[in-house]
Homo-oligomer: A and B are copies of this chain.
Amino acid sequence: MTTPTSPAADPVGSDPAYVAAVVDLLGVVSYGEVSAFERLADDTKLAPTLRDKLALATMASVELGKVGALHARIEALGADPFEAMAPFQEVFEAFHHHTAPADWTEGLVKAYVGDGLADDFYREIAAFLDPETRDLVVASLDEDDGRVGFLVGRVREEIAADPPLGGRLALWGRRLMGEALIQAQRVAADRDSLTALLTGGVDRPGLDLAALGTMFTRLTERHAARMAELGLDS
């Protein structure tokens, strides 16, 4: 927990470029949660049993439940949460449009691999944030082991029952990764403030090209580890 500070004493408030970047970041993370809700809620239609449906619906609700605190922080920074989210709507919709699951197992893999990738990326960015915003972003990550246990367990069950499915889901995982990179690239190109968060500023350390490369390698390795957890090649 952070101690309460008056707005004037908030170190964040002293740098308008930083504030703009943080508002952007909180906008993208919170829209990501709204979007995850929509997609998971939609994928409940693919659930083969009522139990699976309820498990996925509960995940959707958990994602949505994180939005309130993120919006409160955006407001505390003097910005409007809906304006902050608006620039990212198209990117998320494009991602989901290009990665609509054809069936239940594709939906499960997407929930595990896609959200895992987003979380890894937010965790990397969190290192460059003020403590209060960092705590908030880290709290919005999916650390729930029950969730991961359910997703991994169900995917493995489905593959065990139908081994050729493994080949199809491995390709699906590659496609999710590819689409995520395409959309992340779009955000980086459109939102200078966000890229500046990573590359630093006059009085703020950032990443050089080598460090950005290392970060990218870490993200790829964690993606491969998740695919392996599902019993899939990456």
Task: Give the residues in chain B near A64, CB-CB below 8 Å.
Answer: 57-58, 61
Question: What is the oligomeric copy number?
Answer: 2
B38 contacts A44, CB within 8 Å? yes
Shortest A11–chain B CB gap in Å is 30
A38 contacts B57, CB within 8 Å? yes
A25 on the B face (CB < 8 A)? no
Residue tally, chain A, CB below 8 Å to B: 23
* Known A-B contacts A34-B57, A61-B64, A64-B57; A86 and B50 likewise in contact (beta carbons under 8 Å): yes
* Known A-B contacts A50-B82, A50-B86, A86-B50; A57 and B44 likewise in contact (beta carbons under 8 Å): no
Chain A, residues 79-112, CB within 8 Å of chain B (1/0): the string is 0001001100100000000000000000000000
Chain A, interface SS category: helix
Chain A, residues 16-55, CB within 8 Å of chain B (1/0): the string is 0000000000000000001001100110110001110110
Task: Give the residues in chain B near A42, CB-CB below 8 Å.
Answer: 41-42
Nearest residue, chain B, Cβ from A89 = B50
Shortest A124–chain B CB gap in Å is 27
A65 on the B face (CB < 8 A)? yes
Task: Give the residues in chain B near A227, CB-CB below 8 Å.
Answer: none
Task: Give the residues in chain B near A34, CB-CB below 8 Å.
Answer: 50, 53-54, 57
Shortest A47–chain B CB gap in Å is 10
Shortest A233–chain B CB gap in Å is 34
A155 on the B face (CB < 8 A)? no
Task: Give the residues in chain B near A54, CB-CB below 8 Å.
Answer: 34, 67
A60 on the B face (CB < 8 A)? yes
How far is A8 from B42 in the complex, measured between Cα atoms in Å?
Answer: 43
The 3 A-B residue pairs whose C-beta atoms are closest, nearest first, are A41-B41, A61-B61, A61-B64
Known A41-B60, A50-B89; 7 more pairs at CB < 8 Å:
A34-B50, A41-B42, A41-B44, A50-B82, A58-B64, A60-B61, A61-B64
12 A-B contacts, Cβ less than 8 Å apart? Answer: A34-B54, A37-B41, A38-B41, A38-B53, A41-B42, A42-B42, A50-B82, A51-B82, A57-B64, A61-B61, A61-B64, A61-B65
